[in-house]
Chain A
Amino acid sequence: MELLAAVRRFLEREVVPRLEGPDRFHARVAAHVVGMVAREIETEEGQLLGEWRRLGDLLGGAGARPASRQELRGALASRSRELALRIRAGEADAGSWRERVLDHLRQTVADKLDVARSPRHP
């Protein structure tokens, strides 16, 4: 993580001030991306576990949680797809399940924004 912080500092302090125009913009973006990666490394495990648990509560029938991070990401994408299909079938149009779906989505999106922490988004 200190490595990433060092790369980011280098970009922000040494590279960006020496460039102009589109190159300067891209260097700023690069520094921001490095920051994103560092935050993701720090928070990903907790976020994935949280999402797995919430989707298990919402959809039921989770099965055993995949052992590796890679497999967990894949399984979460499948579960999200399942949620999307049920939403598109109208199951979340009203009622208490809609509220629970909204709670889950708010948390998931807040997690993503935490990592992305776009400079223009509050």
Chain B
Amino acid sequence: MSDERDLAARLEAFVASEEGRRPGQVRVEGLRRLAGGASRELWALDLELGGDAPRKLELVLRRDPPGRLGESDRSLEFRLLAAAAEAGVPVPAVHWCCADPEVLGSAFFLMGRVAGETLPRRILRDERYAAARRDLARQLGGVLAGIHRIDPDRPDLSDLASAAGGAESARAEVARIGEGLRAMAAQPHPALDLAERWLLERAPEPSRRTVVHGDFRLGNLVVGEDGLRAVLDWELSHVGDPLEDLGWLCLRAWRFGSDDLAVGGVGTREALLEAYEEAGGGRVDREALRFWEACGNLKLALVFATQARLFLDGLPSVELASLGRRIAEAEDELLRFMDGRA
């Protein structure tokens, strides 16, 4: 496809310029599109750098779709990955970043490609990950403690404070989600209105103020036979209460059928929290955590409603069409919380 050859050529020119090499000394091979969402493009590629100190890199290109304004800033994600690496969080290595839309049509960055599995179905069912699964909940606890160790006031992350989702308080966050639901959902959801009031009544004071990943769960983690290898998809990161990340990870929706194992279908809350606290994450108030789990369900309903809205507004996708139906799962969970059955 000429589009791919054009993209490859532009990448070669960009890297050559960044690295002070002659054009012919940089070669892009195996450029292929990876599955990604509507809001971002992911490509895999191999890069050969010739000249002095030749090397070969296996990379992933992440860019905003050309011609669209990205909601999230690609360079912020790049800087977050670098900060995460400094805090000892396993993440892809970052290589080059470019905010200039002239180069590739939109802002982009290049990071290392981490080998491993991201599909929850495979991580949970394949025999080859059995050993990794046994320790995974603890590993996730340790890694989250690392993420919450990143200084949210670092000068190079100053634009993180204004990223979406960084509400001043848990109450404000609940109210924001409720407003979003009423705007997005195709039908009224009185169960969600009831849940919103229940949550507002129980909104806790913030435990701490940290960097929050925003979507930490299987599906956004690279897992190998040796365990967790990298944390991906930092698009929804913001500054907030770290319990939000812990709560989100424990949603029933992310257990993929293994319901008795609260943490992503691989381990218990106790294992997660013990490891989190041991790794310096701080004492976790169990009641506050319950709030954030419940709140996570309300947020999940909003995610489903938003994605279904994309379909209703004309983006053809059988997957998006069926997502609106999943709102009932979030409603069911919230009713359980309100009943004390969750």
Contact = CB atoms under 8 A, between A and B. Distances in A.
Nearest to A31: B318
Contacts of A110: 332
Given A29-B322, A118-B329, A122-B259, A92 B188 contact: no
Contacts of B194: 87, 92, 101-102, 105
Contacts of A118: 325-326, 329
Contact of A26 (B252, B257, B318): B318
Interface in A30-50: 30, 32-33, 36
Contacts of A113: 328-329, 332
Contact of B35 (A22, A102, A109, A121): A22
B193 A112 contact: no
B125 to A, nearest CB: 12
Give the interface size bracket for B toward A: 20 to 34
A13 interface: no
A15 interface: no
Interface residues of A, number: 35
A69 interface: no
A106 B197 CA distance: 17
A32 B329 contact: no
B153 to A, nearest CB: 37
A122 B332 CA distance: 11
A21 B326 contact: no
Given A33-B322, A88-B193, A102-B339, A81 B328 contact: no
Interface string B181-207: 000000111110110010000000000
Interface of A: 21-22, 25-26, 29-30, 32-33, 36, 77, 80-81, 83-84, 87-88, 90, 92-93, 101-102, 105-106, 108-110, 112-113, 115-116, 118-122
Given A116-B325, A118-B329, 13 more contacts: A21-B35, A22-B35, A32-B322, A36-B322, A83-B190, A87-B197, A88-B193, A90-B197, A113-B329, A118-B325, A118-B326, A120-B256, A122-B257
- The list of the 7 closest CB pairs from A to B, nearest first, reads A112-B328, A80-B188, A84-B190, A116-B325, A81-B188, A105-B191, A83-B190
9 contacts: A77-B187, A81-B188, A83-B190, A84-B188, A102-B339, A109-B331, A112-B331, A118-B329, A120-B256
